Structure 1
Amino acid sequence: MTVRPDPQQPLDGLPAHGRRRVWCRGPGCHHELTDPESRRRGYGPTCDPERRTPTPATAPVDQDTLPGM
């Protein structure tokens, strides 16, 4: 008969030294994340595979007409 160890108890609240460090899961990135939303997702704003922030609006570009058209 084998003896099973007691199950690990969950942590309550924050650790004594503050919140735990979270690192970016992006390929080759591994920067520490400080933004709460980035910490929750596990990706920094440049590595996030699914962009959730709106893209900046681009201004219309003035173009010359093509010759012959």
Structure 2
Amino acid sequence: MDDRQQKALLIDPGRRARVWCRDCGRELKDEISRMRRLGPECDPEPRGGYDRHDVDQDPIPGL
């Protein structure tokens, strides 16, 4: 029998794998960010949880 056997790699099953943003390289904590592999600042697709509203504006005179 060979004495140079590789030892088993033990991984803690309770810990999540670390995921980083594809664009900026920051570690991602948010589940949606982790799935998309893009942080909220780098993700071009808007997310539902942010406070966004559009404001009606008066047309510019002369155009």
TM bracket, shorter-chain basis: 0.5 to 0.7
Report the counterpart of residue 57 of structure 2 in structure 1. Answer: 61
> What SS class does the counterpart of residue 29 from structure 2 fall into?
coil
Residues 64 and 38 of structure 1: is their aligned pair in 2 closer, same or farther, counting only changes over 3 Å? closer
**Mapping for residues 1-69 of structure 1, pairs under 5 Å:** 15-16=12-13, 18-26=15-23, 29-49=24-44, 51-53=45-47, 56-62=52-58, 65-66=61-62
* Identical pairs, percent: 37
Which aligned segments of 4 or more residues in structure 1 are displaced greater than 6 angstroms?
A: none
- Count of aligned residue pairs for this structure pair: 51
Residues 65 and 33 of structure 1: is their aligned pair in 2 closer, same or farther, counting only changes over 3 Å? same
TM score, norm. by length of structure 2: 0.57
Q: What is the CA-CA distance between 1:48 and the residue it aligns to?
A: 1.7
Q: What is the CA-CA distance between 1:25 and the residue it aligns to?
A: 0.5
The CA RMSD measured in Å over matched residues stands at 3.0
Which blocks of at least 5 consecutive residues in structure 1 are unaligned?
Answer: 1-13
